[in-house]
Structure 1
Amino acid sequence: MESLLLALAVLACPVGMGLMMWMMMRGQRKGSGDSSEQQVAQLRAEIDQLKADRETRQPKGAQ
């Protein structure tokens, strides 16, 4: 009985880690499509805004 409990304790860590990895990979596949495209579009808009702000702050003739 004691050896059975020891075997369960030894197997609990790798089995639990495998389950967590599987669940994380499953979650990434579901949310990676639309949200990443949306994030890229948002970042591009932010870059455009920063470029426009930089152009308005520079004195004329200085670049």
Structure 2
Amino acid sequence: MNTLYLLALLACPVGMGLMMWFMMRGQHGGKDQTTDQKHEIGRLRSEVDYLHQQASKDNRPG
């Protein structure tokens, strides 16, 4: 009977640990995700540079 109580007591922390492990494993998918993120960051930086150029053209006196 004590074994049953011990299993019930450990079920929650073990389950939480497994869930955290699976979630962390899913976030670190691999190199493809990192490569995609680098391409997206590069694209967004180009867009920001373009928008800065357009804003400076609009603010010129003339």
**Alignment TM class, shorter chain as reference:** 0.5 to 0.7
Q: Specify the code of the residue in structure 2 equivalent to 1:50.
A: V
Superposed CA deviations along residues 13-59 of structure 1, whole A, max 9, x for unmatched, are 22212222332343234x13111221221122112112112212223
> Over aligned residue pairs, what C-alpha RMSD do you find?
2.1
Give the Cα separation in 2 of the matches to 1:10 and 1:56.
63
Unaligned runs of 5+ in 2: none
Residue 36 of structure 1 aligns with which residue? 34
- Percentage of identical aligned residues: 41
TM-score, normalised on structure 2?
A: 0.65
TM-score, normalised on structure 1?
A: 0.64
Q: Specify the code of the residue in structure 2 equivalent to 1:14.
A: P
Q: Specify the code of the residue in structure 2 equivalent to 1:49.
A: E
Unaligned runs of 5+ in 1: none
Give aligned pairs, total. 59
